[in-house]
Amino acid sequence: MLKGNKIGLRARHEDDIPILRTELYDDVVNSARAEGGPWRPITPGSKDPRLVVDDTAQGLVQFSVVELEGGTLVGTATLWGIDNHNRAAHIGLGLLPSSRGKGYGTDVVAVLCHYGFVVRGLQRLQIETLSDNTAMLRSAERNGFVREGVLRSSAWVMGGFLDEVLLGLLAQEYGKQESKA
């Protein structure tokens, strides 16, 4: 398990799946904001790749996020779009509604940065998030990510287009700005 100050990133367990499906993916608005496509229901027992981890997938590493104190599941974290040639990847996370606003997001980003830069030897990590996702923007910037641009009206979300903010962090910048969690 990879550990932060408040959370740990561990392998996905079978008993995580019903909780994640119910609390993250069955929430139409949350799912529509987090996914790059339209919401669709996930059938219980399905092998949907958002829930069931394929350990053979080379460009994707999925974690379950748990509280260090007690081990309670609080969400998901992903390093995706891993490009071994250019040594770059993207960060994604989703916290259960009851786990938001507790500083977990900042800690998850920090642990994913450690995994990407220290464990995997990547050069660049990137985050794309909706411009109104202040929690993710704050978590990224507290970990040293820099706003690199805005993708205007690039995300179709629940009947309208929203801007996305692109943030990046390079290996040589990692750790220079202490996390303000």
Cβ atoms 164, 131 nearer than 8 A:
yes
- H or E element in which residue 136 lies: helix 134-142
CA-closest candidate to residue 119, choices 139, 81, 89, 74: 89
Handedness of CA 11, 41, 130, 149 (dihedral sign): positive
Q: How far apart are CA 152 and CA 136, in angstroms?
A: 18
Q: Is residue 165 part of a domain?
A: no
pLDDT at 181: 40
Q: Is residue 164 part of a domain?
A: no
Q: Is residue 154 part of a domain?
A: no
pLDDT tens, the chain, 181 aa long? 999 999 999 999 999 999 999 998 888 888 888 888 888 888 888 888 788 888 888 899 999 999 999 999 999 999 999 999 999 999 999 999 999 999 999 999 999 999 999 999 999 999 999 999 999 999 999 999 999 999 999 999 999 999 999 999 999 999 876 544 4
Domain count, the chain: 1
Q: Is residue 95 part of a domain?
A: yes
Q: CATH number of the domain that 110 lies in?
A: 3.40.630.30
Q: How far apart are CA 86 and CA 170, in angstroms?
A: 12
As a whole number of angstroms, the longest Cα–Cα distance in the chain is 44
For 36-73, the three-class secondary structure string (H helix, E strand, C coil) is CCCCCCCCCCCCCCCCCCCCCCCCEEEEEEEECCCCCE
114-143 pLDDT, tens digit per residue, is: 999 999 999 999 999 999 999 999 999 999
**Helix (DSSP H) and strand (DSSP E) numbers for the chain:** 4, 8
Global pTM value: 0.92
CA-closest candidate to residue 116, choices 171, 65, 177: 171
Residue 150 contacts by C-beta under 8 Å, 6 or more apart in sequence? 131, 163, 164, 165, 166
Q: Is residue 159 part of a domain?
A: no
Q: Is residue 73 part of a domain?
A: yes
26-36 pLDDT, tens digit per residue, is: 888 888 888 88
Q: Which amino acid is at 3?
A: K
Cβ atoms 146, 119 nearer than 8 A:
no
CA-closest candidate to residue 94, choices 176, 21, 146: 21
Q: Which residue segment(s) compose the domain that 11 sits in?
A: 2-125
- H or E element in which residue 101 lies: none
pLDDT at 180: 42
Q: Is residue 169 part of a domain?
A: no
CA-closest candidate to residue 64, choices 101, 107, 17, 106: 17
